[in-house]
């Protein structure tokens, strides 16, 4: 009997390809078969400002023209500081909220403004894993009911098969299948996150949007959950949109990375492009700000780019390039013209929104002078 009580037991490999009807995608044979295309999508939230006699309604531009695509089995990382719109983008893709502009193409149809009724079948294909393993599970429901609800709503299996299927899913995410009748409070944080993952997988999605899935967990548990997600991705060929602020974890998990700032994508490219040869000043600043464990192992500490000040308000973002107020390269053109997202030289897949992109060779010593 396998001991499932611990959080880390690697689950036995369940042949999901049979039971779930999914197909196993092998890394080598993968071609970029586009699942999801996001074009110029935007989301404005109204905010009331109470100055003067009459309240004014202003717009918070949480996401302001974001475009990317996602291929089958691919993982796209969305990184950026709080308020950059990465979570809102995730909620737009899953259509938890409706975009103010732009299109989201999934399975050949634009789902951006689809009605709730028509969205139903698509909800099966795009699932979400939430950050908070405590708030995202109903405390009054047993695990069977939580995961079973997903199965029943989408008519995945006949009623009599719900329990066995839930148990199979629990096994898949490394939990004891005998715990189906337990309540969320009987599980630890890492185990709850596994329940959340099992719920998302229950409906055999093609795309999973994971919004900071491990940031609420302790490091040792984080690694357990990340390994589980890597395994599921490998075995089930699910495409992930992975939202996180931890640059190390994103590098570990994602094939492609989009760096966001104030509702815009600043740079998007393959892992190596972003981490080894970032060309946008903001990406460079973000990477240099991440503390590095290797300094104690004798690595030479990177000269740190100290960004001055805070992210400007998304209610009234700067003209032209949004990063220019904190950028050491900023010139007149940056305030006047917004740089489009353009491919780098000889790199069609690596696009940068900057008037002065360059591969960092040696950092300017007095970047603080900005």
Partner 1 sequence: MTSTLAGSGSPAPARRPPLDPNAPVILTVEDLKVQFPTEDGLVNAVSGVSYELRAGQTLAIVGESGSGKSVSSMAIMGLHDPKRSRISGSILLDGQELVGAPQKTFQRIRSTTAAMIFQDPQSSLHPLKKVGPQIAEAYLAHHKVSKQVAAKRAVEMLDRVGVPNPDRRAKQYPFEFSGGMRQRAMIALGLVNDPKLLIADEPTTALDVTVQAQILDLMNDLQREFGSAIIMITHDLAVVAEIADFVLVMYAGRSVEHGTAQEVLANPRNPYTWGLLSSVPSLTADVGTELHPIPGNPPSLLNLPEGCSFRPRCGFSDRVPGDRCAAELPEFRQVPGEPGRMTRCHLEDPAAIFADEVAPTLE
- In which element (H, E) is residue 34 found? strand 34-49
* Residue 204 is a binding residue for partner 1 (CB under 8 A): no
In the bound state with partner 1, the residue whose beta carbon lies nearer, of 95 and 324, is 324
Range in contact with partner 1 (rule: CB under 8 A) among 100-108, 144-152, 214-222, 340-348: 214-222
In the bound state with partner 1, the residue whose beta carbon lies nearer, of 40 and 310, is 310
* Residue 8 is a binding residue for partner 1 (CB under 8 A): yes
* Residue 113 is a binding residue for partner 1 (CB under 8 A): no
To 5 degrees, how large is the angle CA 259–CA 63–CA 126? 80
Residue among 96, 85, 75 at smallest CA distance from 42: 85
* Residue 315 is a binding residue for partner 1 (CB under 8 A): no
Range in contact with partner 1 (rule: CB under 8 A) among 38-46, 226-234, 328-336, 354-362: 226-234
- Give the residue, chosen from 92, 111, 146, 307, that forms a contact with partner 1 under the rule CB under 8 A: 307
Gap between the Cα atoms of 301 and 288, Å rounded: 9
Give the x/- contact pattern for partner 1 in 131-170, rule: CB under 8 A. Answer: ----------------------------------------
* Residue 252 is a binding residue for partner 1 (CB under 8 A): yes
Residue among 100, 182, 90, 98 at smallest CA distance from 131: 90
Residue among 18, 340, 221, 99 at smallest CA distance from 229: 221
- Give me the least distance between CB of 122 and partner 1, in Å please: 32
In the bound state with partner 1, the residue whose beta carbon lies nearer, of 76 and 150, is 76
Helix locations, the chain, DSSP H:
16-19, 86-93, 116-125, 143-153, 162-172, 189-202, 219-236, 247-253, 271-276, 281-289, 332-336
Q: Could you please report the per-residue DSSP string of 206-275? A: SEEEEESTTTTS-HHHHHHHHHHHHHHHHHH--EEEEE-S-HHHHHHH-SEEEEEETTEEEEEEEHHHHH
* Residue 296 is a binding residue for partner 1 (CB under 8 A): yes
User: Is the distance from CB of 224 to CB of 190 less than 8 angstroms?
Assistant: yes
* Residue 190 is a binding residue for partner 1 (CB under 8 A): yes
- Give me the least distance between CB of 175 and partner 1, in Å please: 13
* Residue 249 is a binding residue for partner 1 (CB under 8 A): yes
- Give the residue, chosen from 98, 125, 152, 292, that forms a contact with partner 1 under the rule CB under 8 A: 292
- Give the residue, chosen from 48, 117, 140, 297, that forms a contact with partner 1 under the rule CB under 8 A: 297
To 5 degrees, how large is the angle CA 366–CA 367–CA 370? 110
In the bound state with partner 1, the residue whose beta carbon lies nearer, of 53 and 293, is 293
* Residue 290 is a binding residue for partner 1 (CB under 8 A): yes
Range in contact with partner 1 (rule: CB under 8 A) among 48-56, 88-96, 131-139, 280-288: 280-288
* Residue 220 is a binding residue for partner 1 (CB under 8 A): yes
**Residue 299 three-state SS:** coil
In the bound state with partner 1, the residue whose beta carbon lies nearer, of 171 and 255, is 255
User: Is the distance from CB of 50 to CB of 78 less than 8 angstroms?
Assistant: no
Write out the binding residues for partner 1, residues 65-94 only, by CB under 8 A: 81-82
How many residues bind to partner 1 according to rule CB under 8 A? Answer: 48
Burial 218-244 (b: 16+ CB within 10 A, else e): eeebbbbbbebbebbbebbbbbbbbbb
* Residue 285 is a binding residue for partner 1 (CB under 8 A): yes
CA gyration radius, the chain: 22
In the bound state with partner 1, the residue whose beta carbon lies nearer, of 69 and 292, is 292
Question: Residues in the site for partner 1, rule: CB under 8 A?
Answer: 6-9, 81-82, 188, 190, 218-224, 226-227, 230, 245, 247-249, 251-252, 271, 275, 285-301, 304, 306-307, 309-310
């Amino acid at each position: 009997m396998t001991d499932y009580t611990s959080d880390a037991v690697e689950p036995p490999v369940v042949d999901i390809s049979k039971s779930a009807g999914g197909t196993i995608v092998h890394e080598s044979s993968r071609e970029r078969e586009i699942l999801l295309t996001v074009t110029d999508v935007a989301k404005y939230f109204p905010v009331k400002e109470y100055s003067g006699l009459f309240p004014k309604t202003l717009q918070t531009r949480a996401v302001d023209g974001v475009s990317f695509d996602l291929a089958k089995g691919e993982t796209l990382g969305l990184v950026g500081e709080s308020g950059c719109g990465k979570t809102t983008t995730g909620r737009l893709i899953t259509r938890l909220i409706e975009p103010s502009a732009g299109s989201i193409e999934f399975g050949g149809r634009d789902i951006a403004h689809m009605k709730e009724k028509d969205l139903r079948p698509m909800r099966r294909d795009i699932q979400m894993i939430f950050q908070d393993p405590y708030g995202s599970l109903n405390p009054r429901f047993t695990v069977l009911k939580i995961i079973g609800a997903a199965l029943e709503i989408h008519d995945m299996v006949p009623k009599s098969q719900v329990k066995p299927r839930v148990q199979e899913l629990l096994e898949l995410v490394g939990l004891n299948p005998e715990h189906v009748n337990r309540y969320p409070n009987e599980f630890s944080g890492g185990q709850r996150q596994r329940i959340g993952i099992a719920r998302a997988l229950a409906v055999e999605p093609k795309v999973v949007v994971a919004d900071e899935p491990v940031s609420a967990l302790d490091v040792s548990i984080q690694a357990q959950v990340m390994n589980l997600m890597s395994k599921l991705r490998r075995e089930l060929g699910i495409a992930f949109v992975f939202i996180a602020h931890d640059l190390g974890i994103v590098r570990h998990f994602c094939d492609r990375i989009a760096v966001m700032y104030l509702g815009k994508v600043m740079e998007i490219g393959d892992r190596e492009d972003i981490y080894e040869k970032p060309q946008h000043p903001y990406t460079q600043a973000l990477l240099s700000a991440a503390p590095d464990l290797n300094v104690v192992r004798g690595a030479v500490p990177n000269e740190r780019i100290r960004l001055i000040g805070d992210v400007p308000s998304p209610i009234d973002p700067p003209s032209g390039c949004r990063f220019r107020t904190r950028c050491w390269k900023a010139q007149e053109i940056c305030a006047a013209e917004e740089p489009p997202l353009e491919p780098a030289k000889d790199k069609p897949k690596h696009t940068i929104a900057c008037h002065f992109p360059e591969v960092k060779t040696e950092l300017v010593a007095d970047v603080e002078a900005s």
